[in-house]
Amino acid sequence: MGSIKLIEADPYSVELDLAGTALLLIDMQRDFLEPGGFGEMLGNDVSVLRRTIEPCQSVLKAARATGLRVIHTREGHRADLTDAPLSKLQRGNLETGIGDDGPMGRILIRGERGHDIIPELAPNQDEPIIDKPGKGAFYETDLDLILKNGLIRTLIVCGVTTEVCVHTTVREANDRGYECVVLEDCVGSYFPEFQRMGIEMIKAQGGIFGWVSDSKKFLNTLGN
Ligand code: C5J
């Protein structure tokens, strides 16, 4: 590795120093992506998120083959819910919400089947998993420490959902001085208009939060 590669992106192409670049896969969990999970229980069509799985698999395979650092995140809580703010537990007046029994175990609780990452994108032993209680992957986690220790400055961002955990994380990363390249076909929203606007917002005003590219361009950059 240690090489500089150009990735085609919007609003303009950008150089990636591969030694300082990590792939960040955000919340590709059963609860969001599989039928019967929390996302579907909230009335969402999970098939629109499942479109991201194949491109994410290609990107993950290429990143591993190149030796890029790969980091996964999961949104969820302790079994006793002591790390979940009341606001998050109560908002929405849901009949079945975080911590309640669902078809894949207790919803968004660490260790439960629904909380885990989908098998198609299962982490390797050497890939850190960041368990986060919030939407942003930096909030109350050691992600920043792991990135700093790994001399990582650039994040290739994939995951769900575009306007919630992806956006929050990209904004947090941006404020901490990281460069983010979001792969459009590897991030998904249950709402088409949020997907479109979420992507637009990242690359607006000369790349106010970073760049937008896609899986094919990323694979071209890595020479796959
Ligand atoms: C949501 C997420 N949508 N991972 N979480 O609540 O975006």
Pocket test for ligand 1, best of 135, 189, 191 (most atoms within 8 A of CB): 135
Q: Kindly indicate the confidence band of residue 190, based on its pLDDT and cuts at 50, 70 and 90.
A: very high
User: In a mutational test of the pocket of ligand 1, which residue from 48, 139, 161 has the highest number of ligand atoms less than 8 Å from its CB?
Assistant: 161
**Does residue 2 surpass a pLDDT of 90?**
no
pLDDT at res. 1: 60
Check pocket membership of 165 for ligand 1, CB cut-off 6 A.
Answer: yes
Q: Which numbered atom of ligand 1 lies nearest the CA of 161?
A: 7
Residue 57 pLDDT: 98
Q: What is the mean pLDDT of residues 186-201?
A: 98
Q: What is the pLDDT of residue 63?
A: 98
10 catalytically annotated: no
User: Distance, CA 161 to ligand 1 centroid (Å)?
Assistant: 5
Q: Which of 39-43, 77-81, 202-206 has the lowest mean pLDDT?
A: 39-43
Catalytic residue check, 27: yes
Angle at 128 between CA 17 and CA 110, to 5 degrees: 145
CA of 8 to the centre of ligand 1 (A): 28
Q: How far is CA 79 from CA 11, 76, 102, 105, 115, in A?
A: 43, 9, 14, 11, 12
Interval 130-178: pLDDT, tens: 999 999 999 999 999 999 999 999 999 999 999 999 999 999 999 999 9
Alpha-carbon distance values, 160 to 9, 30, 164, 191 (Å): 20, 11, 8, 12
What DSSP state is assigned to residue 171? H
What is the mean predicted confidence (pLDDT) over 51-74?
A: 98
Q: Taking the CA atoms of 136, 140, 144 and 150 in sequence, report the sign of the dihedral they define.
A: negative
Which of 56, 116, 131, 132 is an active site residue? 132
The number of C-alpha atoms within 13 Å of 105 and in the hemisphere containing its C-beta is 14
User: How confident is the model over 89-107, as pLDDT tens digits?
Assistant: 999 998 889 999 998 999 9
**Ligand 1 nearest atom to the CA of residue 164, by list position:** 7
Using a pLDDT cut of 70, give the percent of the chain over it: 99
Q: Is the pLDDT of residue 224 over 80?
A: no
Q: What is the pLDDT of residue 46?
A: 97
pLDDT for position 151: 98
Q: Both tokens of residue 133? A: 């209680």
Distance, CA 95 to ligand 1 centroid (Å)?
A: 18
Separation between Cα atoms, residue 129 and residue 5, nearest integer Å: 27
Q: Is residue 87 over pLDDT 70?
A: yes
| Confidence (pLDDT) at 159 | 98
d(CA 99, CA 76): 9
| Any atom of ligand 1 within 6 Å of the Cβ of 163 | no
Active site residue 56: no
- Output the pLDDT for position 203: 98
Catalytic residue among 158, 165, 180, 186: 165
* 157 to 24, 69, 81, 129: CA distances (angstroms): 5, 12, 28, 15
